[in-house]
Structure 1
């Protein structure tokens, strides 16, 4: 009986990809799945809070980073003043949750509210010295560990890895074009789900 990987390999080869590429994509997917699980658990973040003795959870630390983070250089229309709505946007959370988390950080002395220099009617957010210290410590913790890991790599491997990782990270930008290209194959995948559901329903009724 073919394995799930065999099925995926067959799908890729039928779409015109050679067997070597199919095998490479399967390996990449396994690595990314494991990486995603680690990121979801946020193991490094929990280790950092324990090692640094921080009296806050990761959601609160995220707020401090959201306040500290400047707009992306590529975003010409971004505002370099941070408000509660900015925090909500950067963290992709509900404004009410952002407001609550910001209030916790202000009350704890890690952030403060200030008046905008551009518009006195607008309240902006800034980090206090304590908030800056948290950001610097968490970043320092990560860079120490990351630096130690990559220091074991040959320099040429690091030089090759960085642009390749940047290129890989942009693959979703072209996914809509690929989705249009394989519309028929994707429709068939959707139909396979419906067929499986029908089989389950029929089996339940017969039982």
Structure 2
């Protein structure tokens, strides 16, 4: 693979870093998918809510560190779906369940009386606050051993990395059309040969 990538103009040092970074991100993805911290927080708090419902409650509350660009206005089911990147029908079902369990409620929009908005009840806000407090207690404790320099380096670089696809954008297929065509042709040849 390195020979192919080098043929496309990437240098070996960059490839080595990309491969190492990919391995780190794949391991991180697997751990994040388990949602260990969120599950632990719900379990330790004794809250009978699953992670998808917790996600919806957090999307309703919309903490600024997660949804800074999307905090204006009122929260509707469509807003929740967009914030979480889920289907609106799934968001609606989860909201309905949270309402039935007393964690959320529907209200009439103050901006447009024809719209229905979703808000957290006191019970819902208490759960979100407690779970996020545990999360930041543990994360803060872990980071407390890091130097200010390490944190000042990590945070902006991690932010930049988390937006790498936005930087490349939908132009990636255009930018690498020749390389992708070459790989497609080679793959087709190899698959045909069996």
Normalised by the size of structure 2, how large is the TM-score?
Answer: 0.88
Name which of 121, 143, 166 aligns with 1:128.
121
Task: Tell me which residue corresponds to 1:109.
Answer: 102
1:154 and 1:13 map into 2 onto residues whose CA distance is 37
Q: Which runs of 4+ in 1 moved over 6 A?
A: none
Query: Which range is displaced more, 136-145 or 93-102?
Result: 93-102
1:64 aligns with 2:57: yes
Name which of 72, 81, 87 aligns with 2:74.
81
The verdict on how the C-alpha distance between 1:45 and 1:74 changes in structure 2, with shifts beyond 3 A counting, is closer
Deviations 1:121-168 (A, max 9, x none): 221111111111111111111111111111121211111111111222
Answer whether contact 1:85 1:95 (CA < 8 A) is retained: yes
Task: Tell me which residue corresponds to 2:184.
Answer: 190
1:90 aligns with 2:108: no
2:41 and 2:68 map into 1 onto residues whose CA distance is 28
1:106 and 1:23 map into 2 onto residues whose CA distance is 50
Q: Rg: which structure is higher?
A: 1
Answer whether contact 1:84 1:125 (CA < 8 A) is retained: yes
Name which of 122, 135, 151 aligns with 1:158.
151
Offset of residue 94 of structure 1: 2.1
Task: Tell me which residue corresponds to 1:181.
Answer: 175
- Counterpart secondary structure, 2:114: coil
The verdict on how the C-alpha distance between 1:192 and 1:52 changes in structure 2, with shifts beyond 3 A counting, is farther
Larger relative CO (CA 8 A, sep 6+): 1 or 2? 2
1:92 and 1:177 map into 2 onto residues whose CA distance is 22
The verdict on how the C-alpha distance between 1:74 and 1:131 changes in structure 2, with shifts beyond 3 A counting, is closer
Two-structure CA RMSD over aligned residues (Å): 2.0
The verdict on how the C-alpha distance between 1:145 and 1:123 changes in structure 2, with shifts beyond 3 A counting, is same
Q: Unpaired segments of 5 or more residues in structure 1? A: 1-6, 201-207
Q: Unpaired segments of 5 or more residues in structure 2? A: none
Task: Tell me which residue corresponds to 1:205.
Answer: none
